[in-house]
Amino acid sequence: MDALIVASLALPLLLALLVAQPRSRAVALSLAPWAPLPALALALAAREPLGLDLPDVLTGLQLGVDDSGRVFLLFTSLIWLAAGGFARGWFADDPRRARFMVFFLLTQAGNLGACLALDAAGFYAFYALMSFAAYGLVAHDGDTAARRAGRVYLVLAVAGEMLILSGLLLALGLAPDHPWAVACLVLGFGVKVGLPLLHVSLPLAYAAAPIPAAAVLAGAMIKAGVLGWLRFLPLGAAALPDSGQLLMATGALMIVGGSVIGLAQRQPGAILAYSSVAQMGHFALGVGAGLTAPALWPPIAAALVVYAAHHALAKAALFLGVGVVARHGASRAHLAGLTLPALALAGAPFTSGMLAKLGLKSALAGLPAPWADALPLLLVAGALGSALLMARLLVQARETPVVGDAPTALWAPWLLALAGVAGLTAGLAPFASWSATLQPGALLAALWPVFAALALTLAALKLRLGAPRIPAGDLLVPIERLLAAIVRLHPPRAARAARVAGTRDPSPAAPGIAPARVALRRCAVVGAARGFRVPADILRP
C-alpha cells in the first residue's frame, strides 16, 4: 500500500517532467492519461485506514487514506482518468497539447495529494500546487476570454491561499474554534466552493477552459474546498452557532441565487458553473449545520461525503458530454448520454441524486427552528432549480447541429464517467432505505421538480420566451467597470509620467534586470503566463 501511496503522487509529477523534455515527450504523452491509475487502485484496495510517514519531507509529511479521504480519492482519481483520456482526443491536433498536459499533470498531483495528505502542511502544499497549476488550464486557449478568466481565477486563488494559511496558523497558535481561524478557513476554502462574491471565477473559468480542464475543475477540484472544510473546521467538536447559522444562510442564498442566475446563461459552461454554485450551497448548508449543532455532525458528514461523490461524477460526465456535443453535434445518443447525469443532478427517482439528497435531508432533520421549518422548502427550491438548469442545458445542447459521430477517443472516456454515475447509484443501493425511498410521497417529491421543469421549459419554448441575460461573472462585471472608470479618472502616477515624457517606461530597468527579464520570458511556464509566447523548445510539440 505504501508503494501505491507514493506512486499516486510520483507518477503524475514524473510524467509532467518527462512531457516537458523533447526526447521523452511522445512516450510521456501516451502514458499521461493513465497517471491516476495508482490512486484509483489505492482507493479501491484500501479497506481500512492506513498511513505513511515521511519525516524528511516538508515539516514531516503524513500521507494516507481515512474513511472520508478514500471516497474523495476514489471519485477524484476516476474523474482525472476520464478527463485525461478525453484530453488525448480533444487535443489530438492541438500544437499546444504538451503545455496543457504539463499543467494538467501538476494540477492532478496537487488534487490527489490533497486527498492523501493527513497533516496541515502537506494538505496546504498540495492544495496550493493544485490551485496555481490550474491557472495554465483555465488560460490555455489564450484568447481574450481565457486571459480574463485566468486573471480573475489567479487573483482569487492567491486570496484563498492567503486566507487558508492565515486560518491554519491561527488555529495552531490560538485554537481551532477561534472565530478568526474559522472565518479564514471558511472563506479560504470557499474560493473553490464558490461562496457568494468569491464565486465569480467559476463561470468564467468553466466557460473559458478546454472541456477536459472544465471537467476536473467542476468535478474534482471544487470538492477539494469541501474536503478542506471537513479536515480543518472544528466540526462536531465545538458549537459555533453564529458562524454556523451565517454559513447556513449563505448556503441558502447559493442554492437560490445560483439557480436564478444560471437560468439567464446561454453558454453551457456558464450554466453548469452556476449549477455548481447552487449545488455547493448544500455543502455550505451542511457544514453550517455542523458548526451550529455538533451533535448532528456524524450523520451530516456521511451525507456530505456521499453528496460530494454524486455531484462530482455527475458534473464531470455533463462537461465531457458537452464536449462530445460541441465536437460532433447533438445526436440522439449524445442527448441520451447527457440526460443520465442531468437526471441525477436533478435528483430524479432511482438516481444517485435522489439518494444523496434524501440522506442530506434526513441528516439535517434535527436542526432547531427556524431551519427545521425552512429546510424542506429550501431543498424543494434547490431541486426545482437544478431540474430547470438541466433542462436549459439540454435545450442548449439540442441546438447544436449534428456534424458526425464521436470517435472512440472521446466516447470511451465519457462512457467511463457515465459508468461512474450509474455505478455510484448501484453502490449506494445496499445502504439506502428502500422502504422509505419507494414510498409514494418520496417518489412524488423526487418526480415533480423534473416534470415541473419539463413543463415550464416546453411552455417557454412554445411561447418563445427568453430569459433575461446576465453576463457570466455577474457581480464582477459592474466591479470591473467601476475600476476601469476610476483608472480613467485617476491614472497611475507612472502612466501619467510616461505620457508626459512620451516614453513607454519612465523608469528604465536597472543594469542586470533586462537579461533576467529575457531569461524569464524564455521559461516555458512564465512565458505561458505572459501570453503563451514560448520561444523555448521545452514545451513545443
Give the C-alpha distances (Å, rounded to integers) separating 541 from 86, 213, 528.
19, 19, 15
Q: What are the cell numbers at 305? A: 461525503
Burial of 195-207, coded b for 16+ CB within 10 Å and e otherwise, reads bbebbbbbbbbbb
> Are residues 412 and 85 in contact, defined by beta-carbon separation less than 8 angstroms?
yes
In a domain, 513, yes or no: no
Report d(CA 22, CA 25) in Å as an integer. 5
Express as a percent the part of the chain with pLDDT over 70. Answer: 87
pLDDT for residue 201 is more than 50 = yes
- The interaxial angle of helices 67-90 and 297-328, nearest 10 deg, is 10
Segment 349-377 mean pLDDT: 86
Q: 26-71: per-residue pLDDT in tens?
A: 999 999 999 999 999 999 998 888 888 888 877 778 999 998 899 9
In a domain, 105, yes or no: no
Q: What are the cell numbers at 211? A: 472541456
In a domain, 249, yes or no: yes
What is the pTM for the complete model shown? 0.87
In a domain, 13, yes or no: no
In a domain, 48, yes or no: no
Cβ atoms within 10 Å, residue 357:
24
pLDDT for residue 324 is more than 60 = yes
Instruction: Find the DSSP H helices in 233-296.
Output: 241-262, 268-292
- Mean pLDDT (the chain) is 85
Report d(CA 89, CA 410) in Å as an integer. 6
DSSP state of 367: P
> Number of folded domains in the chain?
1
In a domain, 231, yes or no: yes
Name 63's bridge partners. Answer: 52, 117
Cβ atoms within 10 Å, residue 58:
14
Torsion 180-183-187-193 (CA) sign: positive
Give the containing element (helix H, strand E) for 52. Answer: strand 50-54
In a domain, 477, yes or no: no
Range of the domain at 375: 66-95+134-463
Q: What are the cell numbers at 56? A: 524528511
pLDDT in the model for residue 496: 56
Residue type, 401: P
Binned at pLDDT 50, 70 and 90, residue 529 comes out as: very low
pLDDT in the model for residue 147: 93
Distance from CA of residue 309 to its chain's centroid?
12
pLDDT in the model for residue 130: 96
pLDDT in the model for residue 511: 46
Report d(CA 245, CA 260) in Å as an integer. 23
Instruction: Output 170 or 403, whichever has higher pLDDT.
Output: 170
Report d(CA 528, CA 449) in Å as an integer. 45
In a domain, 378, yes or no: yes
Q: 466-525: per-residue pLDDT in tens?
A: 777 888 877 888 888 888 888 778 776 655 555 555 544 444 444 444 554 455 455 444
Name 62's bridge partners. Answer: 53
pLDDT in the model for residue 184: 96
